[in-house]
Amino acid sequence: MASRHLARSIAMQSLFEWDFDNKDAKVLKDVVARNKEEYGPGIEEEYAFIDRLVEGTTKNIAKIDEIIEKAAPEWPINQITAVDRAVLRLGLYELLFGKRDEVPPKVAINEAIELAKSFGGESSGKFVNGVLGTVYREIGEPGKEYPTREELAKKRAEEETEEEKKQKEKE
């Protein structure tokens, strides 16, 4: 297992346990430290990444949960399984608040789907893919530059003018 994937796995498991223990902030650091020691020997270079994921996710939890509720309105946050909730929170943190130059949006989504498949139920991967895909499309696929309507209209007009010139040349 690649070290970044394992780091995400440790972060997700820590978030799961933190959520399961009623979000006790005092417990979170101990949980992360224990999970790093138990599951992450040999990836010490990724410990700062794990900390950043966990801290960033918990810091932005209210915004992230609101986004989940909007993207999956038929699934209130407390009805989503704890594993899927942890995966979604982590994936959305990376997608919306993470460093895009370090983790491109599609990588964040794919990693979350893989975590859901590994740790969740039979339909977890599809559910996570659906929610994160909805958010990704809604925010306009970050990293891609989209032209404005005016720019599109101007480009179409220029293309039409070029076509008219070509037609006149043929005549």
DSSP string, the chain: --HHHHHHHHHHHHHHHHHHTTT-HHHHHHHHHHHHHHH-TT-GGGHHHHHHHHHHHHHTHHHHHHHHHHHSTTS-GGGS-HHHHHHHHHHHIIIIIS-TTTS-HHHHHHHHHHHHHHHS-TTHHHHHHHHHHHHHHHTT-TTPPPPPHHHHHHHHHHHHHHHHHHHHHH-
Q: Give the Cα separation of 95 and 55 in Å (integer).
A: 15
Question: Tell me: the pLDDT tens digits for 20-58?
Answer: 887 777 889 999 999 999 999 999 999 999 999 999 999
Quote the pTM value. 0.79
Domains of the chain: 3-170 (1.10.940.10)
pLDDT in tens, 78-131: 999 999 999 999 999 999 998 888 888 999 999 999 999 999 999 999 999 999
Q: How many residues does the chain have?
A: 171
- Which residues, at least 6 apart from 61, have a Cβ–Cβ distance to it below 8 Å? 89
Q: Where are the alpha helices (DSSP H) in 23-104?
A: 25-39, 47-59, 61-71, 82-92
Single-letter amino acid, residue 121: G
pLDDT tens, position by position, 60-85: 999 999 999 999 999 999 999 999 99
pLDDT beyond 90 at 10: yes
